[in-house]
Amino acid sequence: MRKPAEPLREINLLFVCLGNSCRSQMAEALTRRLGEGKVRAWSAGSRPLGYILPETAEILAEKEISIDGQWSKGLKDVPVGEMDYVISMGCEVSCPVPVGFKGRVIEWNIPDPYGHDLDFFRSVRDLVEQHVRSLLEGALASDKLNLKQ
């Protein structure tokens, strides 16, 4: 007799950047959209700014992606030890993982759009989206995620 299939557990992804106001917020929102129901996306900053830049919300809204419910937060505000993946958005970011961390740490080299114009924000958004799609399609393929288009 066959056992009933176990329900799939959502995979926890944490995106970390400096201020948690641009790149990691983009990654969180894009991951929520593309991996809806399959992953749980989080974001944090090593030195959080305390708010999300309006440019971040604007360029995501262009793709009909909302950041409602997201806020700028620090590493102490998220359960880092429970993450399956911790993704550092750029080389100036450090994310100390707890002793015994069993997840995977991934380094991306995404430029920081802070202080740049909307076209630069858009180019960063598109780069983040490419990386998120690649992560969800490749690194997490073993979990058989079906992504939204």
* pLDDT tens-digit readout, 62-117: 999 999 999 999 989 999 889 999 999 986 666 667 667 788 889 999 999 999 99
pLDDT of residue 56: 98
Question: How far, in Å, CA of 83 to CA of 14, rounded?
Answer: 7
Q: Model's pTM, two decimal places?
A: 0.86
The one-character DSSP state at 74 is B
Per-residue confidence (pLDDT) for residue 46, from 0 to 100: 87
Query: In this predicted model, which residue has the larger pLDDT, 41 or 7?
Result: 41
User: What rounded mean pLDDT belongs to the chain?
Assistant: 86
pLDDT reading at 47 higher than 60: yes
Query: Which of 22, 23, 40, 95 is an active site residue?
Result: 23
Residue 6 reports pLDDT greater than 80: no
* pLDDT given for residue 29 in this prediction: 98
Angle (CA) 52-70-108 rounded to 5° is 70
Catalytic residue among 33, 95, 112, 125: 112
- 17 in active site: yes
23 is annotated as an active-site residue: yes
pLDDT score for 1: 47
Q: Could you give the strand order of the β-sheet that contains 11-17, starting from the edge strand earlier in sequence?
A: 39-45, 11-17, 85-88, 104-107
Could you tell me how many residues make up the chain? 149
Q: Which of 17, 22, 33, 40 is catalytic?
A: 17
Pairwise CA distance, residues 79 & 77, whole Å: 7
Q: In the predicted model, is pLDDT for residue 144 greater than 80? A: no
Q: Mean pLDDT, to the nearest integer, of 33-37?
A: 87
Residues forming beta bridges with residue 13, ordered by sequence position: 41, 85
> With bands split at pLDDT 50, 70 and 90, how would you rate the model's confidence at 2?
very low
Q: For this structure, is 95 an active site residue?
A: no
